[in-house]
């Protein structure tokens, strides 16, 4: 039995909070790496399994295969049809969630201790013997097609599709992982089976378990759950750069309030300046009301309800992306303010006070994330996917602390390029002209939904 | 069902700091000035959630001032005697915390998540703005633009939200649940500093507030801090009894069509006025929770999913919704998005067929047992989320329930019988007290 047991007593961030999350790094007899946090205070366990690959593995012309396939994992397996499978799950009061994202397939489960063996057997059945029954395929396909149709009438979706289509025209990130009407209509049962075999594989799967379970039980559980799952899948894609040119790209849409999505090339998590960049992003447009963009657009001018920016780090691409909505009459002014903020930060950098405030916020907020079994399981799997060690939960705040004013201002000058800012505005904004050269991609070929910011209700 | 919140007499009559031991690591007190205190212990992470809930929501607003409760929520982040505008959130963030606020029909609440050792600072600031808010005309102008942009973003740009607004307005003839929480645009545009301050002066008082602290804390220590920071604030002697106009008996089924080219997927929604959880009388609401689950709680195993999506291809989606918690009568609703080639009236007829069939055939025992098991397990899963527990208490106490009612709810859910569900269904499904809405992209096409 190969069982490497490393116990890391992670004292998360001495200031201001200190949490004890004891991560046990295990390898099952079947050879699967597993991180476990034992906590017997509530009689259930939360599991998180993610396999790298995700919707990016959709074959040419079969966009949407991963999405439709994932939607069908809860629609019947083994000798159970969809209804029978769900009845069995409900009788156990277990919860199973299957999700597919740009670069990952995820399985999240909660199982009560009292019937855990039965819940594991049921989930194993879903992960190894999906049926893809014709009636289920057609029912879920109709739901996906209806969603694609509805998306045509949402300005936020239209803007984000245009944005990502032009940002990453030659990568999966440039198109909607739900697929197009044409591609989804053409998917066959064989396509779904192929997608299932390609995406759920053990050699790029990462596993976290938190809750009422011992290391021995957790190892046995994972081996049983993943028994029969193929070991490897197709090769993953290569890196792409952000391709959209700077400027404003308009999507005409009749609505009282325009929506803007903007951004340009970002920075990867393995870049030496990554931590400086996330601190910079916090100051520019991260959480809360104190960011430069929130101050300038909302607090000073009342131009928007909320504005935020994020560093998007895909497996094979990076971007810094922001969004906000503003009345048609004020969108032109708001776009100008965003550009000014961008230029000011690039040229003059941030202040020492802003840096300190951002660092205190970020180091203080981090340990507060470790609440709830499923939350901790998700964090652990996220760390494994970035190849971070268990003690990252201790070290992470010291990386933030180590960021200096010089670091942030260097990365601001390097990262923030006002002339490269690509804006897509959906609506009928006043005072803005479409000045992006070159045809935008056909609408069907476009990308994922942007994050919605929703601060105070 | 009108509930009276803390009246002046009751507030003054409450004994000082009467500690009551409770299950679930929940301890409650009442301060001398009438402020209720709820402490929920969860020592798994060194974090704490600090919340103050006011028994004042949009349904308490005077006529003509829709949106003032929510407007004041925004203005609470402006200056006080000792803090500058925006400083509240800045200090929370500088202490590694997050904060926000929310307004609903029956309450307005403010909360922060911070490291447990920052609790006192939160209390210091939250008690400060309960009594010492200082607004300027500039704050009013800027923040009014922000709430109008919020309405633009959340409602006017969203066909579904506009439809819901019309449905609620049709459901409630005489009760303020018919007015949107965010307000009607023309009334929002006219909100003044005087309106906001009148609201603040009356309702932002300790005898109208509930403090909920949940996380890595000791109850005695929380009480001591609460007495120090909230204790000195005087009770508001003019705090009115919570008065809500009631719905008259509905005598005619109401039907509306909302047409908007931005509707992504046509659907219909049927809603009925429904009994909510009342203090000491939560049984009917518990039965309605089962009814909601039986008819539309699962997209696979509920009756509507089986009949409309599995046995026949009538619905693309279907579902049921019931708001068990509110101060006054809530709604129970059913919704169907028709499959390709099915009209809304065909879908409605099929939906009514499901109701009729259920009333004739009764509850499927196996389905009932599965729902009961899941509701029991949901309690276990809920304990993993201390912030959710904190919300449960804050929402319950601002919506007419007592600590005892909130604690009793899981057992009341487990005690529901199939007969209870049928009795609740018989009482609920009266077409003359319903609203049916068709939400469509194209009126002509939908009504063919």
DSSP-assigned letters across all residues of B391-438:
HHHHHHHHTT--HHHHHHHHHHHHT--HHHHHHHHHHH--GGGEEEEE
Pick the residue from chain A with its C-alpha nearest to B44: A371
Weakest-pLDDT range from A13-22, A412-421, B373-382, B396-405: A13-22
Q: What mean pLDDT do residues B36-45 have?
A: 92
CA–CA distance, B371 with B2 (Å, rounded to integer): 30
Q: Is B306 on the interface with A (CB under 8 A)?
A: yes
B95/A16 Cβ within 8 A: yes
Residue from A300, A364, A366, A449 to probe the interface with B (highest B Cβ count within 10 Å):
A364
pLDDT at residue number B349: 97
Q: How many domains does chain A have?
A: 2
In a domain, A427, yes or no: yes
State the pLDDT at residue A437: 55
The answer to whether residues B213 and B222 touch, using CB atoms and an 8 Å cutoff, is yes
Query: Which residues does chain B have within 8 Å of residue A39's beta carbon, measured at their own beta carbons?
Result: 44
Q: Does A334 share its domain with A366?
A: yes
Say what percent of chain B tops pLDDT 70: 94
The per-residue pLDDT for range B259-270, each reduced to its tens digit, is 999 898 999 999
For position A457, what pLDDT does the model report?
28
Q: What is the pLDDT of residues A399-415, one digit of tens each?
A: 999 999 999 999 999 99
| Dist CA B98 CA B262 (whole Å) | 35
A40 and A83 within one domain? yes
Q: Which of A157, A191, A226 is the last residue of a domain?
A: A226
Give the C-alpha separation, A318 to B423, whole Å. 58
pLDDT in tens, B46-102: 899 999 999 999 999 999 999 999 999 999 999 999 999 989 998 998 888 989 899
Looking at the partner chain, which of B147, B154, B306 has a beta carbon nearest the beta carbon of A83? B306
Give the pLDDT confidence score for residue A16 in this predicted structure.
41
Asked if residue A69 and residue A207 are part of one domain, the reply reads yes
Output the pLDDT for position A17. Answer: 45
- Rounded Cα–Cα distance for residues A153 and B338 (Å): 18
Percent of chain A with pLDDT over 70: 91
pLDDT of residue B448: 67
Vertex B342: Cα angle to B340 and B345 (nearest 5) = 145
Over residues B105-121, the mean pLDDT reads 95
Examine the pLDDT at A68 and tell me if it is beyond 90: yes
Between A101 and B96, name the one with better pLDDT. Answer: A101
pLDDT class of A111 with cuts at 50, 70, 90: very high
Mark whether A171 and A296 lie in a shared domain. Answer: no
Please name each of the domains of chain B with its CATH number. 8-229 (3.30.830.10), 254-446 (3.30.830.10)
Residue A217 has a pLDDT of 97
Distance CA B148, CA A327 (A): 9
What's the whole-number mean pLDDT along residues B388-396?
95
Encode pLDDT of B145-169 as tens digits. Answer: 999 999 998 999 889 999 999 999 9
Same domain, residue pair A270 and A383: yes
What are the φ/ψ torsions at residue B173 (nearest 5 degrees)?
-80, -35
In chain B, residues 85-124 whose CB comes closer than 8 Å to chain A = 85-86, 89-90, 93-98, 100-104, 113-118
At residue A256, the pLDDT reads 87
Q: Pseudo-torsion of CA A157, B305, B340, B442, nearest 10°?
A: -60
- Tell me: do A268 and A205 sit in the same domain: no
Is residue A239 one of the residues assigned to a domain? no
Decide if B46 touches A, using CB distance below 8 A.
Answer: yes
- Tens digits of residue pLDDT in B240-284: 999 899 999 999 999 999 999 989 899 999 999 999 999 999 999
The answer to whether residue A233 sits within a structural domain is no
Angle at CA of residue B263, ends B258 and B266, nearest 5°: 75
Same domain? A277 vs A203: no
pLDDT at position B306 is 94
Residue A97 banded pLDDT, cuts 50, 70, 90? very high
pLDDT level of residue B24 (50, 70, 90 thresholds): low
Q: Which residue has the higher pLDDT, A32 or B17?
A: A32
Q: What does the block give as tokens for B185?
A: 């645009």
Q: Distance between CA A305 and CA B142 in Å, rounded?
A: 11
A209 vs A288, residue with greater confidence? A209
With respect to residue A278, please indicate whether it lies within any of the assigned structural domains.
yes
Same domain, A276 and A215: no
Mean pLDDT of chain B: 91
Paired residues of A108 in beta bridges: A48, A97
Residues A197 and A284 in one domain: no
Asked, for residue A235, whether it belongs to a domain, the answer is no
pLDDT at B430 over 90: yes
Q: Is the Cβ of A113 closer than 8 Å to some Cβ of chain B?
A: no
Residues 279-318 of A with CB under 8 A from B: 287-290, 298-306
CB B88 within 8 A of CB B111: no
Do the strands A33-38 and A205-211 form a parallel or antiparallel pair, or are they unpaired? parallel
Q: State how far residue B154 is from chain A, nearest Cα, in angstroms.
A: 9
The pLDDT score that the predictor gives to residue B94 is: 85
Provide the pLDDT confidence category of residue A44 given band limits of 50, 70 and 90: very high
Determine contact, residues A94/A111, Cβ cutoff 8 Å.
yes
Domain presence at residue A140: yes
**Where does residue A5 rank: exposed (0-12), middle (13-18), buried (19+ CB within 10 A)?**
exposed
Asked if A279 and A423 sit in the same domain, the reply is yes
By the CB < 8 Å criterion, does B58 face chain A?
no
Interatomic CA distance for residues A80 and A96, integer angstroms: 16
**Those residues with Cβ within 8 angstroms of residue A423's Cβ, 6 or more apart along the chain or in another chain:** A247, A248, A249, A260, A261, A262, A335, A338
pLDDT for res A438: 47
Q: In whole angstroms, how far apart are CA B184 and each of A247, B166, B180?
A: 36, 11, 7
Could you tell me the CATH number of the domain that includes residue A52?
3.30.830.10
Please say whether the beta carbons of B212 and B393 come within 8 A: yes
What is the value of ipTM here, to two decimals?
0.86
| A312 and A188 within one domain | no
A426 within some domain: yes
Buried b (16+ CB within 10 A) or exposed e, B23-61: eebbbbbbbbbbbbbbbbbbebbbbbbbbbbbbbbbbbb
- How distant is the Cα of B48 from the closest Cα of chain A, in angstroms? 9
Residues A346 and A201 both lie in one domain: no
For residues A202 and A50, the answer to whether their CB atoms sit within 8 Å is no
Q: Is the pLDDT of residue B6 over 70?
A: no
Average pLDDT over residues A431-440: 68
**For residues B365-372, average pLDDT:** 96
Structural domain that includes position A113: 6-226
> Does residue A1 form part of some domain?
no
Higher pLDDT, B153 or A112: A112
pLDDT higher than 90, residue A212: yes
Report the residue from B153, B337, B384 with minimal CB separation from A42: B384
| Residue A2 confidence class, pLDDT cut points 50, 70, 90 | very low
What does the pLDDT read at residue B346? 97
- 3-state helix/strand/coil string of chain A: CCCCCEEEEEEECCCCCCEEEEEEEEECCCCCEEEEEECCCCCEEEEEEEEECHHHHCCCCCCCHHHHHHHCCCCEECCEEHHHHHHHHHHHCCEEEEEECCCEEEEEEEEEHHHHHHHHHHHHHHHHCECCCHHHHHHHHHHHHHHHHHHCCCHHHHHHHHHHHHHCCCCHHHCCCCCCHHHHHHCCHHHHHHHHHHHCCHHHEEEEEEECCCHHHHHHHHHHHHCCCCCCCCCCCCCCCCCCCCEEEEEECCCCEEEEEEEEECCCCCCCCHHHHHHHHHHHHCCCCCCHHHHHHHHCCCCCCCEEEEEEECCCCEEEEEEEEEEHHHHHHHHHHHHHHHHHHHHHCCCHHHHHHHHHHHHHHHHHHCCCHHHHHHHHHHHHHCCCCCCHHHHHHHHHHCCCHHHHHHHHHHHCCHHHCEEEEEECCCCCCCCCCCCCCCHHHCCCCCCCCCCCC
Indicate if the pLDDT at residue B400 is higher than 80.
yes
A190 CB-near residues (< 8 Å, 6+ apart) = none
What pLDDT, on a 0 to 100 scale, did the predictor assign at position B137? 95
pLDDT at residue B447, as a whole number:
75
Q: What is the pLDDT of residue A20?
A: 62
DSSP B60: G
pLDDT band at A289 (very low <50, low <70, confident <90, very high): confident
CA distance B41 to B170: 43
Q: Across chain A, what does the average pLDDT equal?
A: 90
The tokens for A24 are 């046990």
Bond preceding residue A361 cis, omega within 30 of 0:
no
């Amino acid at each position: 039995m190969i069982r490497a047991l490393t116990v890391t007593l992670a004292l998360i961030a001495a200031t201001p909070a200190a949490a004890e999350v004891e991560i046990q790094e295990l390898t099952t007899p079947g050879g699967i790496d597993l991180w476990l946090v034992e906590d017997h205070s509530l009689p259930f366990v939360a599991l998180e399994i993610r396999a790298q690959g995700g919707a990016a593995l959709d074959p040419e012309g079969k966009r949407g295969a991963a999405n439709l396939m994932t939607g069908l994992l809860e629609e019947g397996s083994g000798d159970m049809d969809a209804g029978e499978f769900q009845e069995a799950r409900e009788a156990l009061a277990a919860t199973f969630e299957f999700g597919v994202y740009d670069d990952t397939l995820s399985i999240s489960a909660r199982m009560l201790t009292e019937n855990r063996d039965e819940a594991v057997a049921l989930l194993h059945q879903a992960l190894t013997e999906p049926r893809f029954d014709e009636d289920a395929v057609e029912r879920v396909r109709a739901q996906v097609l209806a969603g694609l149709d509805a998306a045509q009438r949402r300005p936020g979706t239209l803007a984000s599709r245009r944005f990502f289509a032009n940002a990453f025209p030659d990568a999966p990130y440039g198109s909607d992982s739900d697929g197009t009407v044409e591609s989804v209509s053409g998917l066959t049962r064989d396509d779904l089976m192929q997608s299932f075999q390609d995406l759920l594989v053990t050699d790029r799967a990462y596993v976290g378990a938190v809750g009422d379970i011992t290391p021995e039980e957790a190892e046995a559980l994972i081996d049983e759950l993943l028994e029969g799952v193929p070991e490897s899948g197709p090769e993953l894609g290569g890196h792409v750069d952000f391709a959209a040119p700077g400027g404003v790209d308009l999507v005409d849409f009749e609505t009282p309030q325009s929506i803007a999505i903007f951004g340009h090339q970002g920075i990867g998590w393995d870049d030496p300046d990554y931590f400086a960049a996330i601190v910079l992003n916090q100051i520019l447009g991260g959480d809360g009301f104190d960011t430069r963009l929130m101050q300038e657009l909302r607090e000073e001018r009342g131009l928007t309800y909320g504005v935020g920016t994020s560093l998007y780090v895909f497996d094979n691409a990076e971007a810094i992306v922001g969004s906000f909505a503003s009345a048609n009459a004020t969108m032109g002014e708001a776009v100008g303010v965003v550009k000014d903020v961008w230029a000011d930060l690039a040229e003059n950098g941030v202040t020492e006070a802003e840096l300190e405030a951002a660092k205190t916020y970020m180091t203080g907020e981090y340990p507060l994330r470790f609440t709830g079994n499923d939350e901790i399981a998700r964090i652990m799997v996220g760390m494994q996917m970035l190849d971070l060690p268990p003690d990252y939960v201790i070290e992470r705040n010291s990386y933030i602390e180590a960021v200096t004013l010089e670091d942030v201002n260097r990365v601001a000058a390097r990262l923030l390029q006002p002339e490269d800012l690509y804006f897509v505005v959906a609506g009928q904004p006043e005072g803005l002209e479409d000045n992006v050269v070159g045809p935008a991609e056909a609408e069907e070929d476009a990308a994922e939904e942007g994050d919605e910011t929703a601060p105070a209700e | 069902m009108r509930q009276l919140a803390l009246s002046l007499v009751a507030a003054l009559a409450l004994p000082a700091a009467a500690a009551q031991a409770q299950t679930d690591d929940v301890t409650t007190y009442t301060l001398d000035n009438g402020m209720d205190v709820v402490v929920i212990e969860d020592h798994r992470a060194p974090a704490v959630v600090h919340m103050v809930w006011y028994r004042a929501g949009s349904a308490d607003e005077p006529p003509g001032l829709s949106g003032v409760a929510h407007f004041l929520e925004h203005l609470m982040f402006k200056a006080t005697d000792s803090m500058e505008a925006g400083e509240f959130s800045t200090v929370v963030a500088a202490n590694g915390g997050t904060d926000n606020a929310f307004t609903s029909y029956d309450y307005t609440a403010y909360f922060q998540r911070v490291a447990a050792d920052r609790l006192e600072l939160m209390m210091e600031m939250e008690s400060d703005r309960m009594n010492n808010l200082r607004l300027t005309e500039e704050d009013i102008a800027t923040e009014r633009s922000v709430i109008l942009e919020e309405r633009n973003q959340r409602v006017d740009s969203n066909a579904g939200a506009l439809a819901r607004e019309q449905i609620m307005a049709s459901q409630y003839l005489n009760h303020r649940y018919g007015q949107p929480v965010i307000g009607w645009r023309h009334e929002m545009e006219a909100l003044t500093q005087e309106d906001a301050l009148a609201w603040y002066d009356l309702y932002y008082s300790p005898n109208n507030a509930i403090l909920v602290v949940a996380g890595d804390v000791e109850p005695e220590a929380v009480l001591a801090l609460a007495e120090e920071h909230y204790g000195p604030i005087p009770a508001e002697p003019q705090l009115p009894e919570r008065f809500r106009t009631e719905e008259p008996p509905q005598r005619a089924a109401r039907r509306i069509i909302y047409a908007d080219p931005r509707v992504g997927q046509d659907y219909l929604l049927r809603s009925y006025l429904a009994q909510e959880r009342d203090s000491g009388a939560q049984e009917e609401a518990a039965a309605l929770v089962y009814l909601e689950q039986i008819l539309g709680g699962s997209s696979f195993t509920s009756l509507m999913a089986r009949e409309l999506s599995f046995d026949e291809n009538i619905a693309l989606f279907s579902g049921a919704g019931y708001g068990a918690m509110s101060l006054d009568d809530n709604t129970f609703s059913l919704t169907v998005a028709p499959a390709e080639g099915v009209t809304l009236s065909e879908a409605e007829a099929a939906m009514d067929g499901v109701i009729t069939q259920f009333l004739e055939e009764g509850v499927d025992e196996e389905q009932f047992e599965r729902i009961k098991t899941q509701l029991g397990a949901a309690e276990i899963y809920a304990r993993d989320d201390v912030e959710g527990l904190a919300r449960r208490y804050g929402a319950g106490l601002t919506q007419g329930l007592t600590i005892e009612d909130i604690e009793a709810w899981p057992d009341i859910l487990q005690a529901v019988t199939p007969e209870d569900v049928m009795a609740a269904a018989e009482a609920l499904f009266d077409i003359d007290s319903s609203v049916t809405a068709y939400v469509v992209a194209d009126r002509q096409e939908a009504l063919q």
